[in-house]
Amino acid sequence: MKKGALSILAVLVLSASLYGGAGEQETRSAASSKRMAISVEEISEILKTLETPYSRMKSLSYNAERKRTTVNSETEDSWSFTYRAPSDIRIEYKSPRKRIIVINKRDMWEYLPDQRVAMHTGLSEKSQAERDAVIVKVMSRVSVSGLRPGNYSHLLSQVTSSEKSGNVLTVKGDQSPPFMLKIDTARNAMLVSELYDSDGNLKLKTTCSEHRRVRKGFWMPKKIQAITSNNNQYITDLVHVSEVSIDHDFSDNMFVFKKPGNVRVIENSGKKK
């Protein structure tokens, strides 16, 4: 895969690498005093196996329906997502408001059909950091925590126990910050992840279910529940994923915005055409 493809896919989920760990020597010693069904080295290999199919993707597409619940509100939205390595993206919002976003190496277009307005951002002359900032801002609206397993390498030094029941491996770290992972080792799929802050407060919990095989050795969840903490309140997302396609050969036209007639164009500078 070309450089840059992995970074775009990575924003589909929150990465466990956000949570640092204690010193390796200290935690390895702690792990040796706990019950370990398998070693930390074996856990590391399993986690790499979970991540490998995503890092090798040439393209990914799916439909998503999300119900978000907070203390004060409940909202629903839906969209289709299409990605082609290394940097082509197309997002079509279906509800609550139709919106089309197209990103390629030269341009980003955001089209609002009901307002007949298209917003354009030129990318070809931006630095890589500036391009990444634009893409991450867009992707944050449709990120699905748990869709991709993520990078847990920073947590390996904090493993204090591992247990196996049938095909389900449970890995825990009881030191600060604590965490817990449940992995289906037969399907190489993450089932549950729990990440906490240094005070033991839940920061993120994902529960993935109804996995389907999208190709040999690659299982993706159809149902994902993600609980995140925001300003001491919890946000619960329930996401249903369907129509998953891996490594389809999409045409270039999929990632080119064709401006309809009688549409007002707004440049990112604020100028109008």
Give strand pairing partners of 209: 223
Separation between Cα atoms, residue 255 and residue 219, nearest integer Å: 27
**Residue 119: closest CA among 269, 267, 271:** 267
Question: Residue 100 has which token pair?
Answer: 């089309």
Q: Per-residue confidence of the chain (273 residues) as pLDDT tens digits?
A: 444 443 444 444 433 333 333 333 333 444 445 678 899 999 999 999 998 888 888 999 999 999 999 999 999 999 999 999 988 999 999 999 999 999 999 999 999 999 999 999 999 989 988 888 888 888 888 989 999 888 888 888 889 999 999 999 999 998 878 999 999 999 999 999 999 998 889 999 999 999 999 988 899 999 999 999 988 899 999 999 999 999 999 999 999 999 898 999 999 864 444
- Model confidence, pTM: 0.84
CB count in 10 Å sphere of residue 70: 12
Domain definitions of the chain by residue range: 19-56+150-245
> Do 179 and 158 form a contact (C-beta atoms < 8 A)?
yes
**Residue 209: closest CA among 196, 222, 219:** 222
Half-sphere exposure of 50 (CA within 13 A, CB side): 27
